[in-house]
Amino acid sequence: MMTLRDPKVVFFSGRTSLLVVVAISAVTIVTTCLHIQHYYSWNSYSYSSVIGYKEGHLSDTDLSIGRSHEADGITKAYPYHLFNAKYLNSSQDETLNASENNICDPIFRIVFLKTHKAASTTTAAIFERYGYYRNLTFAFRGGEKVFSALVPFTRALVAKYPGLTNNTFHMLTNHARYNRKEMDFVIPNATYITILRKPEDQLESAFGYFEMYRGMKIAEKPNPFKTFIENAASFYKNKSYAHWELSRNGMLYDLGLDHRNDEDESIIRDKILEIDRDFHLVMIQEYYDESLILMRKLLCWEFEDILYLSRGVRSASHRFKVDIELKEQVRQWTRGDVLLYNHFNRTFWKKVQDYGPSFGSDLQYFRELNQGVYEECVMENKFDKTDKRVDKLTLKTNSEKCKTLMLGDVTFTKILTKSMATRFGKPKLGQ
């Protein structure tokens, strides 16, 4: 009988260990080769479909490279970052993996309720880019970027496609006033997300961007915004300026509150509680990166899925000075939005706390990753001033990656509308 000290046992154990090592090495080499193959396959593809974005749809070849079709028509994009050297060599890998122990499936049925002048266009582009690469469907109104500024959303506003079963969709990302029942019909089983901004900053931004002062005939005043706020009730009553509906409690209005209830605090508070119940995440513009980290975990997406380039910076000619006294006047005038913002600013930090101990490291990693995108894609201190209202970023490279990240909500709407028309037939426009 052999014992553990027997030379034959030792020899056999050593030989077994050697065989195991050789086998593991062989598997590692094969796996590495497969990873390299996937890496180059994906990198050659990852942004290649955008080459044809002017045509507005993906070719059959595009759809067959690096992606697999599912029964319901959804296309899975290979996560190119899993084979990206920078990602693999990141010092955060261990932390990131630890935070992903719970296996989950990415969520793709989403209603993103845009609020005006609160980084919602930048956010919408994130959703649209995600859907574009996965062949998802979007509820649109025939290529227009707004369903309606004055009435709540209804299914009748959505373009109908003859080849799309039940005319339900994966995502809704264009401007629409909140109406849960009708949105549920169009995007069943959706995750609801919206975004808020400090009301005093959001109103000043809307006032400047939409040039409300022109309709008020106060453009020549030293500070048109100050003139408006000091006489807000009078201007608001006349409704003689563009986008008047956004000049008081504009975020609550986007979220479904009727302006006849602007001063009814009881109804406003009930509305805030309704939003709290209905929405899975309310992002905060002042904490945009933090919001994206929460969104990423909620949707079970990857870090690269939430990369972004901001749509630009409002030009100095469309900005107005807001001192402490004026800021307080704004907050009194748009008190409903103040109550809304304060509520969700509080609950936001509870979500951050609930995220777990990896929040800080995940945030740091994402910011480094996104900064890398800016360094790779954006020319420093050079802006496109074609639209006098906005100083838009300028690309330093024509790589498809950078061009895709720069695409905005309006362009994506056109691309995706044409893509769906190619796949499902010419739509009957929403009425």
Nearest to residue 199, comparing CAs of 123, 273, 254? 254
For residue range 257-286, list pLDDT tens digits in order.
999 999 999 999 999 999 999 999 999 999
pLDDT of residue 145: 83
d(CA 146, CA 162): 22
Q: Using pLDDT thresholds of 50, 70 and 90, give the confidence band for residue 314.
A: low
Place of tokens 């080499």: 29
Place of tokens 């006047």: 329
pLDDT reading at 373 higher than 60? yes
Q: Using pLDDT thresholds of 50, 70 and 90, give the confidence band for residue 388.
A: low
pLDDT reading at 291 higher than 50? yes
d(CA 268, CA 220): 35
d(CA 298, CA 104): 10
For residues 250 and 334, the answer to whether their CB atoms sit within 8 Å is yes
d(CA 214, CA 236): 14
d(CA 409, CA 142): 14
pLDDT of residue 384: 67
pLDDT reading at 88 higher than 90? no
Nearest to residue 41, comparing CAs of 79, 75, 73? 79
d(CA 19, CA 113): 59
Lowest mean pLDDT among 55-59, 142-146, 275-279, 423-427: 55-59
Lowest mean pLDDT among 113-127, 300-314, 358-372: 300-314
For residue range 178-200, list pLDDT tens digits in order.
999 999 999 999 999 999 999 99
For residue range 200-247, list pLDDT tens digits in order.
999 999 999 999 999 999 999 999 999 999 999 999 999 999 999 999
Nearest to residue 208, comparing CAs of 18, 22, 407, 387? 387
Give me the torsion for CA of 270, 276, 279, 284, rounded to 10°: 110
Sheet holding 191-196, edge to edge: 171-172, 110-113, 191-196, 281-284
For residues 312 and 391, the answer to whether their CB atoms sit within 8 Å is yes
For residue range 19-73, list pLDDT tens digits in order.
444 444 444 444 444 333 333 332 332 333 332 332 233 333 232 222 222 333 3
For residue range 323-343, list pLDDT tens digits in order.
999 999 999 999 999 999 999
pLDDT of residue 398: 86
For residues 334 and 203, the answer to whether their CB atoms sit within 8 Å is yes
